[in-house]
Amino acid sequence: MASVAALVTVGLLGLGVLLASILGLAVLVLSSIATGFLPKVTTVHLVEAAGKGASIAATVFFSLVLIRMMEKDGVFDDLVKNVHAMCKHEEESCLTGIAIAGAGAFEGLASFGTPATVVGPLLADAGVPKPRAGAAALTAHAPYGTLAAFGVPILVTAGILNQAPSGILEATIASIFPAYIVLPRAVAAVMDARVSKSAWITIVVATLVALAMAIEIGAPRIASPVVVLGTAIGLAWYLCHVSGEPHFKFHRKAMHGFVAYGVAVGLISASTLAHLGLPPWVALGLSTIVYAWPDLREIPPAIKEVTEEAWKELLSIVLLMVYGKLIAHTALPDLMRPFCRYTPIAFLVGYVGEMAVGSTTAVMATFASGTPFPGVTLAGAACAAAACPYNVAVAEAAVEYHGKKLARRALYGSAFLAAPTIAWVTLAGFLGVF
């Protein structure tokens, strides 16, 4: 617990995610040596964790390379002009909706840090200050984390507990839905913006209908596209209401960029559904080549720029994955499990676990066997995903901002989502709903 507190505190003080991850590891190792409770983890497990962290860092790296190339070619300027054209009278509400739909889509279909690397820069180019843009992207993607990458967290949880995935899906949606209700308000608050009542109601109603359909379908791998489509339909309905008949005009390079990112998302999605095991960074690397073709000379300068700007955040991702593996093999999970028979504690286990481990799937792999309310624990982990140090590192790299404001705003967004959710699961637990 001391190491988790040190990790989060250093991040909030604005001393850098790399320093936070190093200090968290140091406190964990020193306290373990001092108390004699050494993590029961092998070198092989640590190497595997570092390898997974390196794979995720590579995914973020190639996503940033592609984004930098698109920015220099004016693709994001093109997107922003279309947003301004559609949202002349309700720009803040439109940006809020676009952040939610975009982050939800990339989290649900691809995950692996892509929501922050795409939506954060887009909001920044639209005029949102960088710390607010990064934090808004993190807040927007958080609830969709329960369905990330075609329902992987739910499928992992169901496998560990030997329960039907449809039951875990229903329990998770029944726990997390308050976060979806307040999500437009939370994203707008993080951006210091206002979202109109009509935008809020339209997006929320469409999303809740989609969540109900996902429960009815009962298949976690299909739930993610269903919910993302529901949110997108709600946003499209609102945009048509605001701008009448919106007209989109994109230049050739912008269309090229859409195709390149579509190739990445398509490859990642197909690999996930077909269990092919294609690393996401390979898909994004191929997309980078597709975008730059035939002038591949654009790639080396973009690689150099991203390396110089984001090496600290990328290294911290690897260290945080090792840290999460160590935490998972300490006595902390065993100490927390007996208290999980209470729904608010089950929620907080997921919340604290996400802060420490940095992965909703990893949290459930660590704690699922000890919680009678896996859906509640998943909801807690998802709410924490808006502010966990791992995601903050990705967002800082994406928007090219290094300071305490982004982490603090992300924590505010996380609290905005967590407050109604924990209140609901507490009441539901008291009434015996779960």
Q: What is the pLDDT of residues 408-428, one digit of tens each?
A: 899 999 999 999 999 999 998
φ/ψ of 249, rounded to 5, equals: -135, 110
Q: What are the C-alpha distances in Å from 24 to residues 39, 110, 316, 355?
A: 14, 29, 11, 12
Distance CA 317, CA 303 (A): 18
CA Rg value for the chain: 20
User: How far is C-alpha 123 from the geometric centre of its chain's CA atoms?
Assistant: 16
Pull the structure tokens for residue 66.
């592609």
Average pLDDT estimate for 12-20: 60
pLDDT surpassing 70 at residue 249? no
Average pLDDT estimate for 92-107: 82
Average pLDDT estimate for 18-29: 72
What is the per-residue pLDDT for 182? 95
Contacts of 177 (CB under 8 A, 6+ apart): 208, 211, 424
Reported as a pLDDT band with limits 50, 70 and 90, residue 20 is low
pLDDT surpassing 90 at residue 431? no
Average pLDDT estimate for 217-221: 77
pLDDT in tens, 347-391: 988 888 788 766 676 667 666 556 778 889 889 989 998 888 778
User: Half-sphere exposure of 134 toward its Cβ, with a 13 Å CA cutoff?
Assistant: 27
pLDDT surpassing 60 at residue 8? no
pLDDT in tens, 130-142: 899 999 999 998 9
What is the per-residue pLDDT for 424? 95
Task: Report helix, strand or coil for 402.
Answer: coil
Distance CA 296, CA 179 (A): 43
**ω into residue 294 within 30 of 0, thus cis?**
yes
* Other residues' Cβ atoms within 10 Å of the Cβ of residue 244: 9
Average pLDDT estimate for 128-155: 84
> Mean pLDDT lowest for which of 40-44, 58-62, 143-147, 183-187?
40-44
Task: Report helix, strand or coil for 148.
Answer: helix
Q: Are 150 and 108 in contact (CB under 8 A)?
A: yes
Q: Are 340 and 346 in contact (CB under 8 A)?
A: yes
Angle value at C-alpha 177, between 139 and 188, nearest 5 degrees: 30
Q: What are the C-alpha distances in Å from 189 to residues 9, 141, 183, 310, 352?
A: 23, 15, 10, 27, 23
Average pLDDT estimate for 317-326: 70
pLDDT in tens, 251-284: 666 677 777 767 776 776 677 666 677 777 787 7
Task: Report helix, strand or coil for 244.
Answer: coil
Q: Which of 20-29, 65-74, 324-333, 375-384 has the highest mean pLDDT?
A: 375-384
Reported as a pLDDT band with limits 50, 70 and 90, residue 125 is confident
What is the per-residue pLDDT for 422? 95
Q: Which residue has the higher pLDDT, 161 or 169?
A: 169
Q: Are 255 and 73 in contact (CB under 8 A)?
A: no
Q: What is the mean pLDDT of the chain?
A: 77
Angle value at C-alpha 306, between 303 and 310, nearest 5 degrees: 145
